[in-house]
Amino acid sequence: MQDFLLRERQGVISERLRLNGRVLATELALEFGVSEDTVRRDLREMAAAGLCERVYGGALPVSPAHGSMTQRIGFAADRKQALARAAAKQIAAGSTVFFDAGSTNLAIANALPAELALTAATNAPAIAAALIDKPAVNVILIGGMVDRQTGGSLGAKALRDMEQISPDLCILGACGVDLEAGITVFGFEDAEFKRFAASRSRKVLVAATSEKFGTAAPHSILPVAHCECLVVEHDADPAILARYRERGCRTVLAEKTN
């Protein structure tokens, strides 16, 4: 009977995550008539099974941003291109910009106007290849072992190279974006590199498709308050965007896709 109740609780939790995007341990404990420790144990088991991502006070849905860089390029390509056009308009001529590895960031690199002069650094060979065809862009490629999952160089060599650069803007890749969990990713080394790149930069921009919002991955990069600009899809919830602005984020809406 106890096992059945456990499965029943976890089924309800999964459904709440799907519908509401977040669950709180205190509320679940009251609803189920069990202790908060019991609910936290349920959430730990679900997180270990990849069914949720534990955060302070409860849990979030797991970020959908799985797959290799090559696989992610083909997902929601039109929406990423709309985000890219909006993000490209935030880049000032003559600035130094770091392009973090990521399929949306690759779209941003491709969306840069041919005449826009800037210095671009990136740890992603695919992004460097896109930028090298733009004659007004000086390209710096961060070296090191390339991680196939992220499509970017990570590790000690990449960190040393990044230490030599002080970008005006860091265009940061993200797997999950949430008001409480912040900007998160799946890989430990990826998170370490992203945190360092953001710390070297004057401003941080994140462009993310709608399904990443209200989700989390295991490794935190930075709180949303440290993200100066958030580029979102045209139909993003105005009430949620207002809460991001309360945290200090400037929000930019992409155009509607066909």
**Considering the entire predicted model, what is its pTM?**
0.81
User: How far is 49 from 86, CA to CA, in rounded Å?
Assistant: 37
Q: What's the pLDDT score for residue 4?
A: 45
Q: What's the pLDDT score for residue 67?
A: 59
What are the φ/ψ torsions at residue 150 (nearest 5 degrees)?
-90, -25
Minimum mean pLDDT range among 11-15, 88-92, 232-236, 242-246: 11-15
Residue with tokens 């991001």: 244
The domain limits of the chain are: 6-61, 70-253
Find which of 30-39, 161-170, 207-216 is predicted with most confidence, using mean pLDDT: 161-170
How wide is the angle at C-alpha 111 spanned by C-alphas 254 and 212, nearest 5°? 45
3-state secondary structure string across the chain: CHHHHHHHHHHHHHHHHHHHCCEEHHHHHHHHCCCHHHHHHHHHHHHHCCCCEEECCEEECECCCCCCHHHHHCCCHHHHHHHHHHHHCCCCCCCEEEECCCHHHHHHHHHCCCCCCEEEEECCHHHHHHHHCCCCEEEEECCCEEECCCCEEECHHHHHHHCCCCCCEEEECCCEEECCCEEEECCHHHHHHHHHHHHCCCEEEEECCHHHECCECCEEEECHHHCCEEEECCCCCHHHHHHHHHCCCEEEECCCCC
pLDDT tens by residue, 235-249? 999 999 999 999 999
CATH number of 70-253: 3.40.50.1360
Whether residue 92 has pLDDT greater than 50? yes
What is the CATH T-level fold of the domain 6-61, as seen in this structure?
Arc Repressor Mutant, subunit A (1.10.10)
% residues pLDDT > 90 (the chain): 63
62: Cα separation from own chain's centroid: 12
pLDDT tens by residue, 44-85? 888 888 788 888 888 888 777 665 556 556 567 889 999 999
